[in-house]
Each structure stands twice: as structure tokens, then as C-alpha cells.
Amino acid sequence: MSATAAATSRASLASRVLGRQPLGILFAAPYAVFLAAIFAYPLCLAVWISFHDYFFAAPGAQVARPFVGLANYKAVLSDPEVRSSFYHVAEFLVINVPLTVVLALVLASALNRVTRARTFLRVSYYVPYVTASVALVAVWLFLFSKGGMVNQVLGPLAPSPSWLVNSALAMPVIALFVTWKQLGFFILLYLAALQNVSQDLYESAAVDGASRFKTFMNVTVPGVRPATVLVVILATITGANLFTEPYLLTNGGGPDGASTSPVFVMYQQGIEQGNPDTASAIGVLLVIAVLLISLVNRRILERD
Amino acid sequence: MRRKALSVSAAVLALGLTAACGGGSGSSQSQSSTGPIKVWLSNNPEEIAWGKAMVKEWNAKHADQKVTAQEIPAGKTSEEVIGAAITAGNAPCLVFNTSPAAVPQFEKQGGLVPLDSFAGAKQYIESRSGGSADQYTSPDGKFYQIPWKQNPVMIFYNKDLFKKAGLDPSKPQLATYDQFLAASKKIVAGKAASSAIAPAPTSEFFQSWFDFYPLYAAESGGKQTVENKKATFNDAAGKDVWNFWAQMYKKGYAPQEAYSGDAFADKKAAMAVVGPWAISVYKGKVNWGVVPVPTKDGMPASQVHTFTDAKNIGLYSACKNQKTAWNVMKFATSKEQDGKLLETTGQMPIRKNLASTYSSYFASHPEYKTFADQASRTVEVPNVPNSVQIWQAIRDSYSSAVIFGKTPVDESIAKAASKADDLAGQS
């Protein structure tokens, strides 16, 4: 092989490995490293932990962490409290996700049309999203506790037991709270999407004599479908990771464990009880469930 | 480009997984080493005041073994912070707020030093705490904590609210379950307070220490919930206690909903289950009296047991100068420092003959005398594997049967006991 051919071959190999613009790797590296350190490494570690008899130990401590196969998965799947937590979060998602989509889209459409106090209204809807949950929970406790404002307004119609200690109502109240808290963010997504819906379509609908409702259903809703896919997937992911609200609003997944969530049970088992192996197994199952739900959502919503 | 990005990601992932697979390496700490150490204190003002004064005294005499004290870093609970510090290898030498319930877990993590390895440690602990020390030995027979101080819980009652309810505040009839229920009825029916008593109805594992456990300790004559690796509480005493509290909730004398403040201080509840720490807290706010926790048929106050609500001192394995740490432990639990702790905080050192050792203090602080007497009849949480899991199992069943009345008491208590048996038998 001649020297020129060898040089060409080396250049070709380098090009195959590093690409046509090797500098690009340098620019992408910080984010790749960030992703690897913050997401990939913990995720892989969680998967690894879920297949071992693992507990947190002091550095240098001689501890056995044998491979246990699917034992942790069997343990959590046969644990009624874990199963209940998945049912509870499913109940939460069934209420939260559709409500989020409907309210966010309707309010975004309304906000898109108003001309007066537009900024004030947008900021008003966004404030709960940027406010700490702890502060908002205090307000909701004031509203929904036994002697709270809601029950005082309802008078004899107030539920008994009251909202947050009622097994049937605790999770719906949490779902309402989360919907309200996150609405501002999803309204912003829809407002951005609404700017891309062609005005010609609205004008055509008006010419055809379509009512406001029909225009909304036949122009706006299909026009923001990509945003709806995003809203559904984001709401599902954040909803599946529910923790703060059962922890604070219903005092640790109460009443009688009626509002536990998988992440709350992970916290109990992994942090409080020192069993990160079963906690990791729950986490892995949750990731798989969320991926599947998101995939199904995407398939359904992107279908023409 | 996309394929390359995937390759790079895969390489990083593989690296991460490889790193994850690696185990820790062992190292031993010299127990004869002296030098500067760090200690963590609880974050209540009285204990910080005592801790800082104690450290100042030590440092004045030991310039080459300086102690630096700080509050336990903020976290959901102290135990979570300490557990994380053990794992990270940056735990301090001593924590003056080590929960006995967390000791089995910290021990399993390799985070605690067995104190028996210091010459004379066992004798020191046993001679200071007397028979109470037995409750703090681990299943391997060693001490991984020095029993430090306790807050024996009793029933505080608001004399003004009792008077308003038509009850005699100077001789409250609260010794038996029937008396307690009758008094509760008068308080609620007479609208003296919205609740007779308001133990936290929440699901945290430790909440049972302030409703079920003190009454079980009393009713059973001083039993722990687990003895000889078997749950004890599925007995007549346990069922009586659960049924008593179930009635309190069912009749509306205790609220199912958590109060987001101090119900006793805010006069929303006429009674509370608290320890002597509460004396300074309620001073000037509530005109209070104190009685032992009730039992089914009543028993003389001198025979009633209760829960310790103790906090101990642990020596953590990350400590480089363990000899200094052990000497500080002894200094901080000396007769003189225990006296100062009592004076500053009102909490009871776990020391035999407490009342006679500090007789002048109790003579000048008669309100603490009742707690000093009670301190000799206290029951600690069992020092068994999976302690927190066992308490969570008890709490979950208790919530279901007692607080919310969803399941029969007998069935729930049997379920909790069965789970406790399984967990206590594991290593």
C-alpha cells in the first residue's frame, strides 16, 4: 500500500469515527456528559441495584450484595401496598391528564382571544406553577380541611369524612390540585401552538357558517394536535412521578394509604426503611409503565 | 452523526454500569487516634445551648483535640440525613441525636462503631444507666449507642379546658380507659375543645410511639413490641389499646385529620401525649397538669410504664479520631454534664437513680419530678433488624383499623404481628 493510500485510509477511519465535523463532538460533549452523569448513570445504577440484594453502606464497609435475579421484582409485585400505589397513580392520571388537556386548551384559546388584561391573566395562571408546592399545599389544607372554606360553603352537603380523609375523595382532590398547579405551564404550550394555526382556516370556517364550538373542535383542536401529544406525555410523566402532594396534602399517602403513589412507596422503602433494592425495582417498573403509556398515547394522538 | 452520538452514549452508559458494579473497599479506623473531631447536635435551641457550652468546656481543656459542633443539617428527618452521611462517608464523629429505632439500620450500613471495643465502655454504660442499658444492646450483644437522654411520655391536660368541661382539674379522672373516654366525651360535648386529644393521625412509622406504644407499654407492664424475635403486641394488652384508641376516633374525640399546628397549644385539644420537653414549650401558654398514660382497669402511677422517646449518642465509623470521640462521649454523659443537660433542656438523662442524683434540681423544679419518677419505668423501641419496617407495618395496620375503622382490630393487629415476625427474624 502506498503512503498516499495509507493516509487516505487513516483519514477515512477518522472520518467514520469522528464524523465530518469532529469539532461538533466537542460542542456536544458537555451535554452528553451531563446526561450521562445525571440521568444515564443513576438509571443504570437503579437497574443494577434492582437485581441485587442491595443496601446503602459506609465507604469501605465489607458488605455482601449478591445477585438475586428477579426476587426484588417478585417482592414488589406481590406487595399489596405497591400494587395499590400503582392503582392510585392510575386513578390520578385518569383524572389529571384529560382535565389538564381540556382546561389548558380551553383557557389557552380564551386567553388567545382576549385583548384586555392579557398579560395579567397569563401571569395569574402561571403563578401557581412557579410557586413552591409546600406553600400551595398550606392553602389547599385551609380550603379542604374538615373546617375549611369549601366545607363551610357546602354546609350540609360537605362530604363526611371530609375531603382529605375520605378514601374515595383524597386522590381526586390531589389530582385537582396538581391540575390547577401545573395548568399555567400547559397553557403556555398551547398558546405557542395556537400561534401556528392558520387564520385562513378560521376565516374559512366563519364563511362556512361554523359555530364557535364547531370551529374550536374542527380547527383549533386538530391544529394544536402536536402540542396535545406533548401535553399528554408531559402530564403523564410528571403525574406518574407524584410524590409531594401525597406526602404533604394527605399526610403520607393517607387516609389509610388511599393516596399513596409508587414514588412515595419508593421513598418509604428506599430512604426510610433502607431497602433501595426493592425501591429501585418499583422505579424500574414505573419507568417501563410510563414509557408504555406514553407510547400508546403518542400512537393514538398522532393517528390521522 | 446520530449513530456516533448513540455510540458515545452507549460508551458512557457502559462506563457508568461498570462503575456501578464496583463494590466499596474496606478500611479500618484507628481507635487509638486522637485529634479534632466534629459533632452534630439536635436543632432545638435548648439542646444547642447545652451542646455549645459542653463543647466550650471540653475545648478549654483539650486544645489538641478540638471539638467542632453544628446542628444536624436540614432534612426531612435526622435519620435520613445521618443515613445519607454514612453512605457518603462524611458522617461526623458523634451525633447527639441518634434515634434508637435507626440504630439497627446504621449498624447494618457499617456506619456505627461498637463502643465495647473501647476499654471499660460496657461497664461505663451499664454503671451509668443501670438496668435500662439492656434495652440498647444490639442483637450481637454490643453497644452501638450510648443511652443518653429520654422524654418519658405522659398525658398533659389543659386545666382551664377541663374546668370548662366540668371536670376537676386538680384530680382528673384519666387512669382507666372508661374514665378517659368519659372525660373525652365531656370535653367534646361541652365544646371545651373540638378534640379531647389529637395524636398525629398520619402514616409516618414513628407516630405509633405517641399513641399506641406508650399505652401498650403501660397495659403490658413494660413489654416491647418485639421480644425474642417475635411480635408481642397481638395479645390482650395490644388489642385493648387498639380498641381504646379506635373508640376515641370513632366517637370523634380524636380527629382523623392532621392539625397543621400544635393542637394542644392552640387549645384545639384538651390533652396531649408529650414528654418533659413540653414543659418549657407550654410555659405561659397553657395551664397544664400531667398524669400517667391510662390503662384498661387503672393502676397506681408508680407501676405505669411508658415509651422513652429517647435520643442517644452514636460514634460513627467515618471518624478518624475515635479515641477523642469516645472520651467526648464520656465527658458529655458525665454526672456534671447530665446535670447541666437537665437544667438547660428539662430532658431526663438515662441515668440510674436520676431523682436522687439531682435531688436539688427536682426540689426546685417540682413540675419535672413526675417525669423523673416516670423515667425509671420506660420502654424503648426494640433493637431488632428492620426496625423501621416493623414500625411502618404496625402504623399501616393501626391506621386502617384504629384511625379510619376500615378493618377489624383483631384482623389488623394479627396482620401487623405476622409481618413483624417475618421482619424481626431476618438479618
CATH number at residue A217: 1.10.3720.10
Q: What is the mean pLDDT of residues A46-72?
A: 94
Distance from A222 to chain B by nearest Cα, in Å? 31
Q: Is A264 inside a domain boundary?
A: yes
Q: Is A207 inside a domain boundary?
A: yes
Q: Find residues 293-322 of chain B whose CB sits inside 8 Å of chain A.
A: 317-318
Q: Is A108 inside a domain boundary?
A: yes
Query: What three-state secondary structure class fits B38?
Result: strand
CA distance A296 to B124: 66
Q: Does B86 contact A56 at a Cβ distance shorter than 8 Å?
A: yes
Q: Is A62 inside a domain boundary?
A: no
ipTM value, please give it: 0.84
Q: Does B378 or A6 have the greater pLDDT score?
A: B378
Indicate the length of chain B as a whole number: 427
Q: Is A59 inside a domain boundary?
A: no
Q: Is A96 inside a domain boundary?
A: yes
* SS3 labels along chain A: CCHHHHHHHHHHHHHHHHCCCCHHHHHHHHHHHHHHHHHHHHHHHHHHHHCECCCCCCCCCCCCCCECCCHHHHHHHCCHHHHHHHHHHHHHHHHHHHHHHHHHHHHHHHHHHCCCCHHHHHHHHHHHHHCCHHHHHHHHHHHHCCCCHHHHHHHHHCCCCCHHHCCCCHHHHHHHHHHHHHHHHHHHHHHHHHCCCCHHHHHHHHHCCCCHHHHHHHHHHHHCHHHHHHHHHHHHHHHHCCCHHHHHCCCCCCCCCCCCCHHHHHHHHHHHCCCHHHHHHHHHHHHHHHHHHHHHHHHHHHCC
The answer, for B8 touching chain A at a CB cutoff of 8 Å, is yes
Q: Find residues 118-177 of chain B whose CB sits inside 8 Å of chain A.
A: none
Q: Does A32 contact B9 at a Cβ distance shorter than 8 Å?
A: yes
The answer, for B418 touching chain A at a CB cutoff of 8 Å, is no
Phi/psi of residue A17, each to 5°?
A: -75, -45
Contact A41, B20 (CB under 8 A): yes
CA distance B115 to B113: 6
pLDDT higher than 90, residue A38: yes
Q: Is A61 inside a domain boundary?
A: no
Q: Is A226 inside a domain boundary?
A: yes
Residue with cell 477523642: B324
Q: Does A254 contact B399 at a Cβ distance shorter than 8 Å?
A: yes
Indicate the length of chain A as a whole number: 304
pTM: 0.88
Number of domain units in chain A: 1
Reading chain B (427 residues) residue by residue, the pLDDT tens digits are 444 444 434 443 343 333 333 333 334 556 889 999 999 999 899 999 999 999 999 999 999 999 999 999 988 788 999 999 999 999 999 999 999 999 999 999 999 999 999 999 999 999 999 999 999 999 999 999 999 999 999 999 999 999 999 999 999 999 999 999 999 999 999 999 999 999 999 999 999 999 999 999 999 999 999 999 999 999 999 999 999 999 999 999 999 999 988 999 999 999 999 999 999 899 999 999 999 999 999 999 999 999 999 999 999 999 999 999 999 999 999 999 999 999 999 999 999 999 999 999 999 999 999 999 999 999 999 999 999 999 999 999 999 999 999 999 999 999 999 999 999 987 6
List, by residue range, all CATH 3.40.190.10 domains of chain B.
37-144+311-349, 154-308+383-425
pLDDT in tens, A243-284: 999 999 998 888 999 999 999 999 999 999 999 999 999 999
Distance from A112 to chain B by nearest Cα, in Å? 38
- For domain B37-144+311-349, the CATH superfamily is Periplasmic binding protein-like II (3.40.190.10)
CA distance B146 to B135: 11
Chain B residue numbers with beta carbons less than 8 Å from the beta carbon of A49 are: 20
- For domain B154-308+383-425, the CATH superfamily is Periplasmic binding protein-like II (3.40.190.10)
- Beta pairing class for B288-291 and B226-227: unpaired
